[in-house]
A and B are shown apart, each in its own frame.
Chain A
Amino acid sequence: VNTLGRTSDPAAPSLALFAAVAASGFVAIAVGWHVAATTRFVPSQIAALVSGGLAGVVLVLVGSVLVSVQAGRRSAALERRHTDDVLDEVGALVDAFRTLYNNDASDTEGSS
């Protein structure tokens, strides 16, 4: 539990990191735009387009996909926890039925 009173999420640091990767893509695009806008030399602009623009797009795509994957894993972990609870309950239920069945069988043998 963190100091803000919210339940701590183990996936939060990685989600923040991946979001930062995506945000850095916008920074790369801004730098590429700045370089391209301050020159009239097209070959330099193309270089800025590739290194700033395309690299920025790739960073944003990578960050977005990683966020999506991590969110899916977090949801899967929550579902596994719920499934474990149900399996524990089913195990306890089977034990209770087994005990009840054994008692009934011993009662039947005793009466016969």
Chain B
Amino acid sequence: VSIAQPFDPSAPDQQPESFAPTSETAGPSRLAFAARGLLRPVEALRAVPHLSTYAGMGLVIAGALLLLFTWVKVAGLGLVWTQIPYLISSGCSGVCLVAIGLTVISVAAKTEDARRRGSQMRELHELLAELRQMVETELHRDTRDSA
């Protein structure tokens, strides 16, 4: 199996056993085997529905918790020079985590919408191809009858 082929876990010729290193292809096969081992958990995670949305929500919550932590620490200190490091480290990081979380949610929603629209377009394409095939069959029948 070439390492350039996309991984298909259902394909019998792409099972992990077929990637055992041999004397001729020890280097690439070992690389592919390692890559396959790394990709397997990623594939399992990608199978979870709406995982990106949940991850984005988690980042937003983590950022909000960091901002809350910043407020608690800063409110308990009376000296400005002790407050500023908290403001920079956890305050700014909290804002950044919230922004990244919102971005992840936005990208996940856009990707999901595009996937659904693509599925609809593929279905429309298949229906049109079926209709064209019917018309061409009728055309061939007419041509044969007229001959």
Tell me the minimal C-beta distance from B81 to chain A in angstroms: 5
Do A79 and B81 form a contact, CB below 8 Å, given A5-B35, A6-B6, A93-B132? no
Chain A interface category by residue count: 35 or more
Contacts of A48 in B (CB 8 A): 84, 88
* A75 and B111 contacting across the interface, CB-CB below 8 Å: yes
Within 8 A of B (CB), among A65-112: 65, 67-68, 71-72, 75-76, 78-79, 82-83, 85-86, 89-90, 92-93, 96-97, 99-100, 103-104, 107
* A56 and B81 contacting across the interface, CB-CB below 8 Å: no
B32: nearest residue on chain A (CB-CB)? A5
B65 within 8 A of A: no
* A49 and B84 contacting across the interface, CB-CB below 8 Å: yes
Q: Roughly how many angstroms separate A36 CA and B86 CA in the complex, as a whole number?
A: 9
Interface string of B59-103 (1 = CB under 8 A from A): 000000000000000000000110011011101110110011011
* A7 and B121 contacting across the interface, CB-CB below 8 Å: no
Within 8 A of B (CB), among A13-30: 22, 25-26, 29-30
Chain B at the A interface: SS class: helix
B35: nearest residue on chain A (CB-CB)? A4
Q: Which of A7, A64, A82 contacts B122 (CB 8 A)?
A: A82
Do A40 and B81 form a contact, CB below 8 Å, given A5-B4, A103-B139? yes
Contacts of A83 in B (CB 8 A): 121
By the criterion of a CB under 8 Å from any partner CB, how many residues of chain B are at the interface?
49
* A64 and B89 contacting across the interface, CB-CB below 8 Å: no
Interface string of B100-116 (1 = CB under 8 A from A): 10110011001101100
Tell me the minimal C-beta distance from B10 to chain A in angstroms: 15
Q: Roughly how many angstroms separate A111 CA and B61 CA in the complex, as a whole number?
A: 78
Contacts of A29 in B (CB 8 A): 88-89, 92-93, 96
5 contacts between A and B (CB under 8 A): A32-B88, A48-B84, A57-B92, A60-B96, A64-B100
For the complex of A and B, list the 8 residue pairs with the smallest distance between their C-beta atoms, beginning with the closest.
A75-B114, A82-B121, A64-B103, A33-B89, A60-B96, A53-B88, A89-B128, A45-B84
